Every structure is written in structure tokens, then in C-alpha cells.
Structure 1
């Protein structure tokens, strides 16, 4: 709260001075005195007179009133409408979500100046037109912030409890959901006000905002251009006022963000002011650091016959909050790649080449002690066989508590209570009793939920799930996938999902990596890869998926052993389109936009 004091007082002082402008003993800001034009100082005019003999100090204070009035009114309109649209879209989804989010996307397509020109041409310049323009410009920000927060809040237990009581939807949204998203919306409002002050001045400078003779900082800067050589201070005073106001508001925004965000920075993100004012006109900010960036990963195993490479030249990137699926037949190297990233390779195997950066730090070159601190903490893994992964002689609650105490200094009783809460969170009924059970007393689905509870016990930022639904029936499989999706949305973690099921990939993942015989053969967004597969192996996998009454097509042959790779394309012996050229030299992974494919003939057969 102390951080709010100084910038809050500065902004409050500016607002009070602007509001008290009619009461202050100052000259009329629009009265002209041509005889004293460009005067440096006069009695009652400590900052002099402008090019028309008007009092500069009076125009500064009245200009603050104009700028702040436009900024607060336009931001308030955008906040009210945007928050309501985000609430409805996030709660009802479907058509409401489409209209809210796609409408915001349409507005974001228009550069601010072009939108202002369009509106001014239709309605004419003026304060009312300027408020309309700014309200429309800042509407998408409020829609997106409130929409994202509602998606997170709607699955919380307190919301479900209110719904179970039979409360009407309006009451749930206004009394339960809205107060819990107020913090990020408040931060967005403070950012919008600060941005609107600058944009109002810029548009008024271009003649698209406040109409003379109404005072405005943008109009003062515009008028001072013609007299810069004779009276340079006429340009300095409005620039100083604008700079001081924006700095005070930006510092206040940072303080409001820190106070309002109780989750340590996960809710309201810091936004650069220039990017919000003129999207597309300034260079974009540096791209965010990927959560996991794997490049050229190669794993070697020494066998009596020589060296085999179960993973070779594997590359992919995972951003926070997204799910990347790795698919392929058994023996393709999916699990070996995951264990190498986690640092859990068997003694006979080693990473021969490549990097695996987790939040910018290379896991493969990291000391084992440092990587041990990350495992089970910032990064966690769910294995495909929970029965063999759980200790059969310890109760499941004790094993979850052990995962907590391995990374945090928590008393044993507190860890056990937290373990029960985690079991409840992953959907285990009667968690107090189940926590006292042994693994063999639980079903396969429950054991998998226990493994997920252990993995998320320390709020990991990266979760690797290796076949988490193997050997589970369809109902339990769907529940596990829904649980992983909910955890990803709530915690903002990135998920690497290893699976054989393309149906699962289509349901939960945004990006996909297709592996065959230790290599990545295709990579890209799920929707694009499934709609337009480029590699013959990807097309064969998709054709092998049952689809209604259609007979699935099997893939002839089997994945070759690591010591028997073909000399050229490794899929060539099973590919119906293979030619002599395919057997000559190994093909390189070729980039095509945000796609990548390892095939020399993909352009001939691409849909």
C-alpha cells in the first residue's frame, strides 16, 4: 500500500487542480490579448502568453481538465461495456464468446489514427467524437482481460457452491464472479486512463480531437510549432505537464497492479503504454521467452553393436499456457525425449547433442543438484503407469505429502492437510479416506489422479504427461483430460502431452509434434496439421483413426529398430509414395511458415 501513496497523491493533485479550474483566480483561457502575444511574463501570467495572447498557465490547467475528462469518461465507458461483454462471453461461451472476442479482434485491426479519421469524417471533430473513438479503442482490452479471468473463475469451487444453491445466473455473475475479477479490470482501467491522456493529446494535435478554442495540451503543442524560434517555452510547458501526468499515472498503474494482483503477477500483466496507444505503428516488443525450447536434442545409447540414437535432432518450442502433443507409434522416441528433458535417462543413455532450455536455462548443461530442485517443483512429470510409479507400501496421502515437503519447508501435519486438498482438487471423492488408502486399493483412474496431484503439488510451470490415459476406460480418460485442461487454465502452466491418440490431441492440444523412428517428421499447429497433413506418415496416422462407419486404414510394416534405420527416409519402406530418391540420403526438416516437415516430396502430395 505504501507504493500507492506517492503516485496516488501526485495523480490526485493533478485531478483536483483540473477540477478546481473554474474556481481558481486565473484569466479566461480563451480571451485573446494580441498586444501581449508571445510575452514571456506579465503580472498575473507567470508562464507568459501564447501566440494569440492567451494566458499559458490558465490554458494548461483548463487543458488538464479537458484531457482528464476525456480520458476518464472514455475509459469508464470501455470498462463497463468491455467487462460486461467479457463476463457474458466467458460464462456462456458459444455465440456470446464469438461475438465478444471476434468483435474485439475486428477493432484491433484498425490503427488508432485511421479509426479516428473514419469517425471524425462521419461525425465531425469534437470532444464527444473523441470520447467515442477512445472508448472503442480501449474496449478490446477490457473484453480480453475480463474474458480470461471469467474462464479461470468459473471453475472455482466457490462458484460451483453458489450454483449448487440455485442462485440465478445474474446474481452469480454480479455478486460472485465480478468481485473476483475486479483486480485485473482495475489495473486495465488505470492503464487505459494513462494511455487515453496521451492519445487524446496526439489526436488533438492532428486536429481530430478537441476543437479550438477549448484548451487542450495537444492543441497547445500544435499551436506552439509555428513560434518555436521566438518562444520555445510555449512548447515546453504543455510537454512538461503531459510528461509529469503520464509518469505519475504509469507509476500508479504499477503500484495498483502489484496491490491488486494477489497471485504474485499471474493475473494482471504489465503492458507497455506505447504498444497500447499505437499498435502496429511502433516496433513490437521482444518476443516472450518460451517456457520450454528444445533444439537439436539427440540421445545416444551404447549397445554391443555400437551406438544407437533413439532420439535424433528433435526440436520444438512450448509457450506458457499451451499444450503441445508428441505423437507417433511405439518406438518412435517420445518417452525417451521426455525423460531426457527431465534428466531421468537410464545410466546406459546420455544426451549427445542439443539444448533444452526451461525459461531460458539449459536443463541439459545444468548441474544435477540444480535440476533436482526443479523436478517436482517448477517442472513435473506424470508417468503412464501409475501402479508402478506409486510406492506400494506407503499410503497415497503420505506420498503426496512427501512431494510437498521435498520442495517446501512445511510441517508434516500441514503437508498431510494440503495433500487431502490436492486429492479433492483432482476429483477424488472422499479424499480424507482415500488419502489413508494404499495404491492397490484404488482404481486405475484414481491412481492416475493421485499421480497428477503429486505432480501439481508445488504449482509447476511445466507438466510433462507421458500417456496419462493409457489402459483407462473412455469415461475415466475424458475426466483425466478435462482435469489437465482445467489445471492448465487455472495455473497457466505449459503441458507436453505424449500420446498415441490423435483424438486426444485434437481435443486438448494447440501444437503437435509427429515423431517417427527417433525423428520429428512434422510439426505445427494441431488444426493445420490435421486439416492439411504434409508428411505421408502423418496422413497414414490420421487414416488409421476410426471415423464412423469407415474402415480405418492400417499402416503396413512396423517401426524399424534403432540399429536398423534405413539409409534415406526412415518411413520410405512403409511409404506408398517412396521413390529411389527417398532411399538415397536422409531428408532435412524443412520449415514452411509455422509448419515443418521432413520429406523431399511433400509439395507434390500436400492437400
Structure 2
């Protein structure tokens, strides 16, 4: 894993980092040494050189007392920077106290402070600064306090948000259970975890504070004579702008350069901290392993993805919610597995967990979760990232949200090859064009230079598939890849995915609401309901041997060509249970006319019949008997009143 020092060195070598470092060093050296070198010259009064323009002796001319303007601009660097930094320290301190107060004070006091902060954030910062300047009075001290308190609400809001993201984690709950006081939890556990983004925002805020100080001094509310800063000098220069414009340009340029230095330093720090935070975020928190520890297992080279007892949970107001609970399946090389089910059944979450894309505060656990023989939950993060980056391709439902709208398609595709294959820019771009051609994007060279909004929906989906093919994927996860496309383009995309799977021998996990598409495209079908796999069977047997009543109901609500249009379309009555309200028994029991008392008391296990067919049902339908199956389907889809709900299968 790259060290922080190496990360900083890489950033410094970049144009942004080098510019930030150069400007910061320049401003710092000027603030330290300018009063020593040019201090006497800046204070020397020369009655014979009053209000002169630029010359060899005075590059920016002189002021009303004959003092050198350039020397005064350089000397004013120390006071201007010092006051800006002091204001930022006040703003960060007061903002942090206000932002963390709700976590320490009683609830009523915390809500009161949060309400005051929300009102203050709604006002422009400069307006608040002017308001506080009137309260604290004219002068340097009043200006420092005014700007510091004006910056406090934004830091308070940031602190509140960051603290809330930390407060729900397990180590906070463990500390509180152990009897640790709120203040100690705040100091020892919360503040250290939110310090980095506060520092980044404080660095950027220093540039804003510098500009605000210049504004107050320009208006006569800040630094007073005989002291001077850039804002006061700017005001004096504007009064004589027709006699000597350079006297106003000098302090204005100084404010711009110093403000740019602070902002670039903040951007550089954000890139370093962001990279380090990304490494921490990449490693997902885990539950304790279920059951006995998993021992070393024999790796089957044909198995691409192995999932055993996968669970995905998220924090809720009343505890953890587990929308995916105990999912198990395997995908072999070259195999296409389809996942169907109503909205909220856990299909996409299962795929995201397998791809290690569940972000905090989500948590995953599994008795076994491996990709290409590598245990994803136990292997080093760097190896997992490299493996998934080169061997896993994701095709999302809406590729418009998956592409950066400000970057060209070709550069986004080339990034994958540069990151994982070490290709230079030209080679990576050539690879991107080649992959666009492979997915039959016409005029690939020209298209690679276009932005995502210049692509049609079907072309964007092709480009998304091409991105997955930039490396050498062994598994393609396609999450609703055809939902937003018309029927003709749907067929083209599905044929393209099938061709890619055939040409690369890659496995495919296809998620869809359309059970007909799954039946025609995949080798095996996983039917999910309420976060569980309720049936797993070969696609060729889907219409003839499906045994779970839910699977039969899904098949029955798909309209056929000869469907009588004079009668309403069939729908599955009722609604799936919410993730936080799963019943003790079978989750489908309330919607199933075959349910018995046993179904409502015990959740059936997923039983394998040793013929590649698994079903979780206490009363499975006899798939070999069409009459029995049709009767069951009719009962399921008509037993309860038909209601409209979001889980309709298209």
C-alpha cells in the first residue's frame, strides 16, 4: 500500500501540486523575510517623491507620503496572512464547538444550537462579517473576530454532518456501552476521525478569510493606521487610481496570489487525504463470521464467483436492517446466471456486495465470498482492488450516471487501462478505440472524442460495456442493462452481451425484472424474494419445472402475444415485506394461498434436489404436472384483491 509520504510526492510532481507548493513557499517566505528586508524602505517618508508613478527606483510608484508602494505590499504580507489565519482558527474552533455541541449537551439544547446554526448558514458570509464587525467594533481585533465568527456556521454545519456519519459506527456504540462519557467519546473517537476534512476546508477557507479581510479594510472597518494590510492599501490606491493605477494593482495582485495559494493547498491536501480515505473506505466493515471458522478450501478453477450465506445490512432508526439475508450461489466460467424478483428483493445489493461496492455505513458478511479463488473479505485490499479492477466488469442500468459528464468517453475508458495495465496515454486511448469498435460503436475514433451527452442511450450502454472490456473480465455483472432502452436496442444490447460472453468465455450475472429476458439469455435463474434466493433452477426448466409459488406467479404475470386484451393484466397481489419487517416464517406466506401454519412459523431452507434445482418452500408445486402448476398459478394471482404496487414484473 502506498505510504502517505509517497502519495504527497506524487501530488507534488503533478502540475496542481507543484503550483500549490511554489505559491505557498513564495507567500510564506515573503511573510517571514519581507519586513526584515524591505521594512525600513516601506516606512521611509520622502516628501520629494509624493504620489509618483512607476519608475526604476519605485516599481509601483509611491504613496501620498512618498513611501515605496511595492515595499509596503511585500511588508503587508505578514499582517494580512496572520490575520487571515487567526480568523480561520477562530472560525474552526467556534464552529467545531457548535457542531459537536448536540452530541454532548441535552437534546433540547442541542436542537436549539443546531437551529441557530441552520439560520446563520442561510445568510451570506460577508453579510455576517459586516454584522459582527458592527458588534465587535472597528479595528484589527474586531475584524478578526467578525470574520472568524462569520465563518463559524459553515464549519459547524460541516462538523455536524461529519460527526453524524461517525456516531453510528460500532466503535462509538461500544464505547458508550462501556460507560465512556460523551465528552470523552467526542474527544477520543469522533474528533480524530473528522479532523482531516476540517483541515482541508480550513485551508481553503483561509483564502476566503483573506479576501474578507481585504474587503473590511477597504471599507475602513479593518486595519487602522498606522498599521496597513493589502485591503487598506487597495483602498488608498483606488483613491489615486487616475494618478497611479499601479498603486492599486499591486495589493490586488497580492490578494489574488495569496488566495490562490491557500485554495490550491487545500485542493492538494484534499487529493492526498481523499486518496488515503478511499483506501480506508474500500475495506468494508464485516460482521463476525457465522458459524465455525472457514477452513482452507479447495479452489475450483472453473468457479468464478462463490457466494455462501451473504448478508448486507444498513443502520436504521431502530437497529440494523438486513435486506440481503443468507444468499448463496456460484457462477462458473462461461456461465450466465440471471437474477429476477420484484423491486426491493435484494438483487442489486447482492451484485454490489459481490463487487465490493457497498459503501459505509453498509456492512457485509458471508461464510464465504470469493472471486476467482480470492477471498474478498480477507485478502489484502490492494490485491482485491487489482483483481476486481482487471477481472470484473459492471454494466449499470443508467450509463449516463455512470459516466463523468465533463470528460470525453475515450478518456474515461482509457483510464481503466492506464490504472490497471500501466499503459501510457496514447496506448490506452488506442485500446479504448479498439474496445468501442469491439462493441460495434460506429466511427469509434470520432466517438471516443465525444462527451456522454452526445451518445444515444443504446450507444452509452455499448460504451459502458466497452469500459468493462478495457481489461480482461472474467465476470460481467449487468444490472438492469436494458430497462431504459427501447425493445430494438434491448435486443441489440443483449446480443452484444451474449457475444462478449461467448468470445471471452466470461461468466455473466444478469439482473432484470423481465423474467422472459432472463429465460432467453441465461443458463440458470435465481429467483429472489425478500432478500433470499427462493428458487435456483436451469433456465430451460423455468416454464416447465418451477416449483416455488412465487416463481410461478412471476411467470404468470408476463403477458403473451395471445393474451386477451379485454381483461386486466394479471398482477401479484399484496406487497413484499419491508426489510425491517420480515416475518418469522416464509416471507411469501401472506401472499401465497398454499401457506400453512408451518409456513408462518418457520422459514424454509433452500433445499437441493441433487439435479441442479434448489427451492425454499414447504409446499413446492409439482413442476412435472402442468395441471397442478397452472392451478397454483391461478390461485396465487387471484387469491387476493389485485392492487397496484411497485413490484410489478414487466
Q: Taking structure 1 as the reference length, what is the TM-score of the superposition? A: 0.52
SS in 1 for 2:366: strand
Following superposition of structure 1 onto structure 2, how do residues 376-415 of structure 1 map, counting pairs within 5 Å? 376-415=389-428
Mapped to 2, the partners of 1:392 and 1:353 lie a distance apart of 36
Match of 1:32 in 2: none
Mapped to 2, the partners of 1:299 and 1:354 lie a distance apart of 12
Deviation at 1:367, TM superposition (A): 2.5
Check whether the contact 1:289–1:360 (CA below 8 A) recurs between aligned residues.
Answer: no
Mapped to 2, the partners of 1:544 and 1:328 lie a distance apart of 12
Mapped to 2, the partners of 1:354 and 1:574 lie a distance apart of 31
Are residue 503 (structure 1) and residue 516 (structure 2) matched?
Answer: yes
Mapped to 1, the partners of 2:613 and 2:459 lie a distance apart of 38
Are residue 595 (structure 1) and residue 608 (structure 2) matched?
Answer: no
Match of 2:577 in 1: 560
Following superposition of structure 1 onto structure 2, how do residues 406-555 of structure 1 map, counting pairs within 5 Å? 406-550=419-563, 552-555=569-572
Deviation at 1:364, TM superposition (A): 2.3
Mapped to 2, the partners of 1:605 and 1:528 lie a distance apart of 9
Mapped to 2, the partners of 1:477 and 1:507 lie a distance apart of 13
Q: Taking structure 2 as the reference length, what is the TM-score of the superposition? A: 0.48
Are residue 579 (structure 1) and residue 592 (structure 2) matched?
Answer: no
SS in 2 for 1:602: coil
SS in 1 for 2:383: helix
Mapped to 2, the partners of 1:439 and 1:300 lie a distance apart of 34
SS in 2 for 1:406: helix
Deviation at 1:449, TM superposition (A): 0.8
1:440 and 1:587, CA in 2 relative to 1: closer, same or farther beyond 3 A?
Answer: same
SS in 2 for 1:480: helix
Deviation at 1:592, TM superposition (A): 1.2
Structure 1 residue ranges without an equivalent (≥5): 1-284
Mapped to 2, the partners of 1:410 and 1:353 lie a distance apart of 36
Mapped to 1, the partners of 2:624 and 2:603 lie a distance apart of 20
Mapped to 1, the partners of 2:606 and 2:449 lie a distance apart of 51
1:398 and 1:286, CA in 2 relative to 1: closer, same or farther beyond 3 A?
Answer: closer
Match of 2:347 in 1: 334
Are residue 296 (structure 1) and residue 294 (structure 2) matched?
Answer: no
Mapped to 1, the partners of 2:624 and 2:325 lie a distance apart of 25
SS in 1 for 2:537: strand
Mapped to 1, the partners of 2:532 and 2:624 lie a distance apart of 20
Check whether the contact 2:475–2:507 (CA below 8 A) recurs between aligned residues.
Answer: yes
Mapped to 1, the partners of 2:380 and 2:338 lie a distance apart of 28
Match of 1:368 in 2: 381
Mapped to 1, the partners of 2:510 and 2:377 lie a distance apart of 20
Mapped to 1, the partners of 2:300 and 2:371 lie a distance apart of 16
Match of 1:234 in 2: none
Check whether the contact 1:396–1:435 (CA below 8 A) recurs between aligned residues.
Answer: yes
Mapped to 2, the partners of 1:526 and 1:343 lie a distance apart of 27
Check whether the contact 1:313–1:354 (CA below 8 A) recurs between aligned residues.
Answer: no
Deviation at 1:565, TM superposition (A): 1.0
Deviation at 1:606, TM superposition (A): 6.3
Deviation at 1:448, TM superposition (A): 0.8
Structure 2 residue ranges without an equivalent (≥5): 1-297, 626-650
How many residue pairs are counted as aligned between the two chains?
A: 323
Check whether the contact 1:314–1:519 (CA below 8 A) recurs between aligned residues.
Answer: yes
What is the alpha-carbon root mean square deviation over aligned residues? 1.7
Match of 1:324 in 2: 337
Q: Deviations over 1:186-239 (max 9, x none)?
A: xxxxxxxxxxxxxxxxxxxxxxxxxxxxxxxxxxxxxxxxxxxxxxxxxxxxxx
SS in 1 for 2:421: coil
1:331 and 1:606, CA in 2 relative to 1: closer, same or farther beyond 3 A?
Answer: farther
Mapped to 2, the partners of 1:328 and 1:399 lie a distance apart of 33
SS in 1 for 2:433: helix
Match of 2:184 in 1: none
Deviation at 1:309, TM superposition (A): 0.9
